[in-house]
Amino acid sequence: MPVCFFDKKHNTSYKCEYEIRKECIEVTVDYDIDDERENNNGIISIPSDIEFKERDIFIVDYDNKKNYLLKKAYYCGYSSTWGTPDGGAKTKFKSQIYFSHGDRSKLCDLPPNPKVKKIKVFSKAINDLIGCPSLDLKKDEDNLIISLSKKDHSKVVLINEHNIKSISISDDWKSVNSIKNHNINIDFNGFIELELTKRVNYDDVFDFVYELIIFMQLYRPDKFVINRIHVMVEDVYYELALHPIEIETRDKRVDVSVEDNLLDFLKRCYTVIPYRKSKSEIRNIPYIVLKTSRGLEDNFLMFYRFIECYYKKQPISGIRKSFVSYSIKEYNLKNGELSDEEIEKYSQEIISLRNRYVHSGYYIKNSSLRVSFEKVGNRKNPKDYTVNNVDSKWIYDRAIMLYKIVIDIIFKKMLGYEEYDFKRHF
C-alpha cells in the first residue's frame, strides 16, 4: 500500500490511496485532520468556515514504482469509522500540480519552491512535423536494420526575448521488447523544449505551456495534444503535471498554415506576438483560435472587439470612428469584390448589430434591426433603413466576415505572412 508524508516530514508516514484524474490527483490519507482543529481543554471546536492549510504531500508507491510530490494540496473531505477493527479517520486532499520521478530521492531534493530552467513539452504532433530524428532505417534485399540513437538530434533557434533564451525540437523514444513473444514496441514522442533566460517558479510553467499551445494552434490547428511535460530543476528533469488544456482535435489531415518550418514560425511568434507579455488584442488571440464560444452572438462581439482593439492602436487618421469599414476595405482589396456601397452597408449593419447587443441584449424583437448612419446635422440620415430578416443565418454571414478579417489581421498584420491557409472554423 502506498505511504505519504506531509511537508518533508519524512519521519512520519501515513498509509494512503490515490487516484490520478485528468484534472487533478486525489489522495485519501489515514490521517485525522481533527488533530489540527483548535482544542480547548479537550473540546474541539468546529466552526462552519474552518479552512485547513495547504501542504505538500509526498507519495511513495512501492508496488508500482511510482513517486509523486503534490504541491499545495488542499483539504477536500473527511470521514471516520469507529468500533470496527479497520476503523479510523481518513482525510482527502487534492492538487492540480505535482511532480513525479522514478528516483524518490530526487523528489526529496526538490526545494519548497522549485525554480525551472527548461520546459520540455512532448506531443505526437511534433513527430508528424519532424518525423523521428532518432530513428535510422537501412534496408536492402536481405536485411532491415533499425538503429535507435540516444544522441541529441535537436534543432535549435535562439530567441533571447521575453524570457525565452532558445527553442529546440527533437524526439525521444522508449522500447518495450519481449523476445519470447516476438514483440518489439518502440514509442516515439517528439518534443519542443523552451530554455528560459531566467528561471521561473514551477507554478508559472502553465503560462509558458499555454502560450506554446496558442502558437501551435496557429501553425497546425487542432492537432497539438500534450502527452507529458518535463521541467529541469537544478539540472535534473522531473515530470510535471499541470491542470490540462484541452483542444478539440481533428482526425482528418490538417496542413500547416504557413510555409515556414516550425522553429522559424515559433521564433516569429515569440518575437512579435508574445502572449505572456502582451495586452489588448494579442491577449484575445486564444479566444479566436483555441476555443470560441458556443454562442453566435458572443463570437460576433469577440471578433468585433478584436478588430476594434487592433485598429484603434494603429496610427491611421480617423481610424477610431471608421475601423469597421476600414478593416472590410483592407480585407476586400485581395479577398473580395465588394463595391464601396456594399462595404458601407455591411459596416453599418455590423455596427448597428453590435450596438443592439451591447445596449439592449441579444434578443431582437420580430427579427427587426434598425440600421443607423451618422446624423445629418440634428436630423436622421436618409440612408437609415430597417432589416426585417435578422435570423441566425443573417448574423452568421456578418460574423464570418469579421472572423476572416480577424484571422487576416493575425497572420498578415501581426505575423507578417502575406500567404497563409489557416484551416479552422469558429
Pair 26, 93: CB distance under 8 Å: yes
Of 231, 153, 227, 222, the residue nearest 194 (C-alpha)? 231
Q: What is the pLDDT of residue 97?
A: 95
pLDDT band with cut points at 50, 70 and 90 for residue 45: low
Q: What is the pLDDT of residue 40?
A: 61
Distances (CA, A) of 313 to 273, 280, 316, 424: 15, 10, 9, 27
| Model confidence at 21: pLDDT above 70 | yes
Mean pLDDT of 377-382: 80
| Model confidence at 88: pLDDT above 60 | yes
Q: How many angstroms separate the CA atoms of 298 and 183, rounded?
A: 52
Lowest mean pLDDT among 39-53, 106-120, 277-291: 39-53
| Model confidence at 46: pLDDT above 60 | no
| 59, 60, 64, 68 alpha-carbon torsion, rounded to 10° | 40
Q: How many angstroms separate the CA atoms of 137 and 59, rounded?
A: 42
Of 262, 116, 97, the residue nearest 195 (C-alpha)? 116
Express each pLDDT in 286-300 by its tens digit: 999 998 888 999 999
Q: What is the 3-state secondary structure (H, E, C) of 278-340?
A: CCHHHHCHHHHHCCCCCCHHHHHHHHHHHHHHHHCCCCCCCHHHHHHHHHHHHHHHHHCCCCH
Pair 387, 394: CB distance under 8 Å: yes
- In degrees rounded to 5, what are phi and psi of residue 383? -75, -15
Q: What is the pLDDT of residue 153?
A: 83
Q: How many angstroms separate the CA atoms of 120 and 226, rounded?
A: 11
What residues pair up with 122 in beta bridges, in sequence order?
191, 228
Q: How many angstroms separate the CA atoms of 264 and 139, rounded?
A: 33
Q: What is the pLDDT of residue 38?
A: 67
Q: What is the pLDDT of residue 252?
A: 85
b/e 28-51 (16+ beta carbons within 10 angstroms → b): bbbbebeeeeeeeeeeeeeeeeee
Q: How many angstroms separate the CA atoms of 132 and 182, rounded?
A: 23
Mean pLDDT of 162-189: 83
Express each pLDDT in 198-232 by its tens digit: 999 999 999 999 999 999 999 999 999 999 999 99
Percent of the chain surpassing pLDDT 70:
94
Q: What is the pLDDT of residue 183?
A: 74
Please provide the distance, in angstroms rounded to a whole number, between the alpha carbons at the two ends of the chain.
48
Q: What is the pLDDT of residue 416?
A: 96
Contacts 24+ apart (CB under 8 A), 384-388: 387/349
Q: What is the pLDDT of residue 178?
A: 59
Q: How many angstroms separate the CA atoms of 268 and 414, rounded?
A: 10
Q: Which amino acid is at 79?
A: S
| Model confidence at 379: pLDDT above 90 | no
Residue 138 half-sphere exposure toward CB, CA atoms < 13 A:
3
